[in-house]
Amino acid sequence: MIGDEPGAVGQEVTAKAQKAKDTYGTYLLGLPNVVGVGVGLRMRRGKPTGEVALVVMVNKKLPAVELAPHELIPTELDGIAVDVLEVGDLRAGG
């Protein structure tokens, strides 16, 4: 998998994902329920796949039918997979 490849290829994919975050981060944070955006590994059934992804953190995952079309989080941006991660309510401090 791409995220498992060492060296320049892995660094290139990670840099591309960071650029996508920089480009689309503000847009994504403006969507309902979105509380954070980062770069990480895509998760499937709670386990990392090794694929570098744009990770969009939400309070709660909602079915697509409960969102307006303009509120949906894309599945891919600039060739980088987008992974939605439910994190609940975030609070500063400990």
Q: With pLDDT > 70 as the criterion, what percentage of the chain qualifies?
A: 89
Query: pLDDT class for 88, splitting at 50, 70, 90?
Result: confident
pLDDT higher than threshold 70 for residue 1: no
pLDDT higher than threshold 60 for residue 4: no
DSSP class of residue 92 equals: S
Q: Which CATH class is domain 2-86?
A: alpha beta
| DSSP count for the chain of H helices, then E strands | 1, 4
In the block, residue with structure tokens 């079309």? 69
pLDDT higher than threshold 70 for residue 38: yes
- Measure the CA–CA gap between 69 and 71, rounded to whole angstroms: 5
pLDDT higher than threshold 60 for residue 3: no
- Quick one: average pLDDT of 66-79? 95
